[in-house]
Amino acid sequence: MDFQHVVIVSGQRAAGSLQSMASEIHWALGAHGVAAEMVDVDVLPGFCKADTARAASTLFLTFSHKVAFPWRQPVVSIMGDHPCHRVHQLSIGASEDAVTAWSDASHLPALKALGFSHRAVFLPHAGPEPTEKVVPHNERDIDLLFVGTLREPTDRAEWHAANPGVSPIVPDLIFDTIDVVEKTGAPILPATLDTMMRHRVSPSLFTRDDFASLMSKIQDIGEVNRRVSILAALPDDLEIAIASNHLPLVLRDRPNLRYLGYIDDFDRVRGLMLNSRIVLNTTSKFPAGSHDRIWFAMAEGAVVLTDASLFMKQDFRDGESILYLPQKRLDDEALEPMVAAAKDTQELARLADRAGSIYRDRHTWRMRAPLLIEAMRAA
């Protein structure tokens, strides 16, 4: 379509990182000459009564299809999750008319496998312009910062005991797939199908919702277990800060660990990144894409310690501009190279400078905006 005006729907109810992303996209579109405005979702019903809202040349930019318009309107919706987590939103008829922008290339075939015929594009997350006054690494107080969801870790026996009415094959499917993902870095869909085949379980036995729910459980449990295992394996001589909704028992009462609770103020989170030498990002949801936390950390001059992805490895080499976590179960020995780097501020400064240069040239929203504009033209 030949759009003339973009309306970005966000608001105070959205997570702080999402509000920040919406603002950065707004600025980036303006830098490319695209007329855009931001509208809070709470005032959207009133805004939609105006003629501008219903004009064919007006395009709405939303996130995760959380806004459904009662009339057919050009929409691009940016997704930050795997399709298995968004079956409800994808099942709403209005989302079928939109272009959905996925932050990981492996999410597009997963979308089709779940039976959705939505128009879809790969739009890797991007980040803000780099902070002008970066704090030198030898002046930063936090050796490693983690920001994200944590819960108590769960093993096969515990999960089965907590779900007594479930077939015994289900915990095997969950935890065997978690092992495959952790050892190989495979996307969740082929890893799940591979595990099913080894257990002689046909996917046709599952409804779409049940199959999506299974993959969601695999991702959620595997993500938390891996995060806790990494944090627990870090030595006591590193100053660690955790901003999360929960502090697992295994991490409590460690004198080197500062628990900050859940922080919704994203300016404060970015301030923590600015004062951190390393930011830990670990999730299996983006094996062929990028997570926004990576870019926010680089924008603040922190070194990123993350799971490798096919997309990230195109530009960022391990030990040169980024630190990749080993593709295996983690213990003290496996983390030794990362721990050594965390204690060498000169090495960290070298990594951060190299990453910052690549990030500035290729991965800010200003640089990513042409891909987004192309998706908008297809809406």
137-362 classified as CATH 1.10.3720.10 = no
pLDDT of 333 strictly over 70: yes
Q: How far apart are CA 29 and CA 6, in angstroms?
A: 9
pLDDT of 184 strictly over 70: yes
Q: How far apart are CA 135 and CA 85, in angstroms?
A: 37
Q: Do domains 5-123 and 137-362 have the same CATH topology?
A: yes
User: What pLDDT is recorded for position 73?
Assistant: 85
Nearest Cα neighbor of 105 from 126, 122, 93 is: 122
Residues 112-141 have a mean pLDDT of 95
Q: What's the DSSP call for residue 81? A: S
Residues 338-367: tens digit of each pLDDT: 888 888 999 999 999 999 999 999 999 999
Residues 311-322 have a mean pLDDT of 96
pLDDT confidence of 69, banded at 50, 70, 90? confident
Q: What's the DSSP call for residue 367? A: H
**Domain spans, the chain:** 5-123, 137-362
- Sole residue written with tokens 């800060």: 241
Q: 23: Cβ–Cβ under 8 A, 6 or more apart, which residues?
A: 10, 38
pLDDT of 50 strictly over 90: no
Q: 35: Cβ–Cβ under 8 A, 6 or more apart, which residues?
A: 4, 5, 6
Q: To the nearest whole number, what is the mean pLDDT of the chain?
A: 93
Helix ranges, the chain (H): 16-31, 44-47, 51-54, 87-91, 107-113, 156-162, 169-184, 188-198, 208-233, 266-274, 292-299, 312-315, 336-342, 345-362, 365-377
pLDDT confidence of 329, banded at 50, 70, 90? low
**Which pTM value belongs to this model?**
0.94
CA separation, residue 138 to residues 141, 287, 298, 363 (Å):
8, 32, 17, 26
Matching CATH number, 5-123, of 3.40.50.720, 1.50.10.10, 3.40.50.300, 3.40.50.2000: 3.40.50.2000
